[in-house]
Structure 1
Amino acid sequence: MVISIVLKSILICLFLVLGVQKIFGHPMQVEIFKNLQLPQWFRLVTGWVQLVGVIFLIIGFWEEWMTIIGGIWLGVTMFFAFLAHSRVKDTFGKSVPALVFLIIAIVLVISTYAKM
């Protein structure tokens, strides 16, 4: 199904960039974690978690069940990102990206599961 390929590709590109930025300490990512009152070592862990999700999604081009694992993996990550933004009472504008990517991950999981 074309929708799952498009959604998977969006998530791969997004989380590849964000994961690498977190691992290499991009100033924007450092500032986000300061704002969220989270330690910088957790930024590194989050970056690696995101890259693992990317690997699951890439393997998912050949093994569809890996797309489901990757979608759930990244969806859970975005759920907790949304909670972290909510915990510090971030504006809706700062919280909404995590929510949008959570929804994309959910739609990807459901669409992949439905075609299996």
Structure 2
Amino acid sequence: MDVLSIIFQVILGLGFLLFGLAKFGSKKLVEEFKHYGYPSWFRVFTGLLELVSAVLVIAGIWNKTLAAWGALLIAVTMLGAIFTHVKMKEPSNKQLMPFILLVIAVVIIVNNFDFLLG
């Protein structure tokens, strides 16, 4: 399971580095957050949270405690994304990616759960 967990950590880490950075410069995301009714500061906060999560998950390749905490932050973020898409009554294909990322984060959490508790 360790190899699978590392693969998932790399996927999530790189993905969330890109997702987090996009929150700062993407006009599309600025418009999406407005459409969802969220203030601009929340987009920036979400971007920062995604960047921190990405760094933790990648550093977690060498430190399982960091992997667990990073994945937990990603899971919470993805629950928020899913909630937003459901609240906005968006089609299920818009909810699919956050759900897949949530499942991957949960796999990492389960694989590193002992380290989450310290």
CA deviation map 1:29-87 (0-9, x unaligned): 12321232212221111000000101211221221111000111110110011001111
Aligned positions, number: 115
**How many Å separate the matches in 2 of 1:3 and 1:111?**
10
Equivalent residue for 1:77? 77
SS in 2 for 1:72: helix
Equivalent residue for 1:19? 20
Tell me, yes or no, if the aligned pair for 1:57 and 1:70 is still in contact at 8 Å.
Answer: yes
TM-score when normalising by structure 1:
0.90
SS in 1 for 2:90: coil
Tell me, yes or no, if the aligned pair for 1:56 and 1:67 is still in contact at 8 Å.
Answer: yes
TM-score when normalising by structure 2:
0.89
**How many Å separate the matches in 2 of 1:86 and 1:76?**
15
RMSD between aligned residues: 1.8
| Unpaired runs of at least 5, structure 2 | none
Deviation at 1:113, TM superposition (A): 3.4
Identical columns (%): 32
